[in-house]
Amino acid sequence: MKTIARKLLLGLVVTAVVGADGLASEKAAAPRSEVFLGACYCRAAGTLQCTGDLSERECRRRCDEALCDDWFWKERLPCWNWGYGG
């Protein structure tokens, strides 16, 4: 009886190790999708406002919700304050 239990336990351990190794290799092989952050500019009622550190998708969603007349997104750039000294 002990031999059957040992074989069963050994089979479970081997299955767990092989299964975990297979999952790790799948994660390593999966392509990484880089999401870049940038400056999101929204023009509404004649004023231009900027929100930093947003992805393009977040920028589009935020500008749609804010009913912007015009918007654009600058990849990997901070907001520009349109002047010097703050």
Q: What's the pLDDT score for residue 36? A: 94
**Residue 66 belongs to domain spanning:** 38-75
58 within some domain? yes
Asked whether 66 and 59 are in contact (CB, 8 A), the reply is no
Q: What's the pLDDT score for residue 42? A: 95
Q: What is the domain count for the chain?
A: 1
Q: What's the pLDDT score for residue 16? A: 59
| Residue 40 burial by Cβ neighbours in a 10 Å radius (0-12, 13-18, 19+) | buried
29 within some domain? no
Does the predicted TM-score (pTM) go above 0.85?
A: no
Predicted confidence (pLDDT) per residue in 23-43, tens digit: 455 556 656 778 999 999 999
6 within some domain? no
Residue 19 has pLDDT above 70, yes or no: no
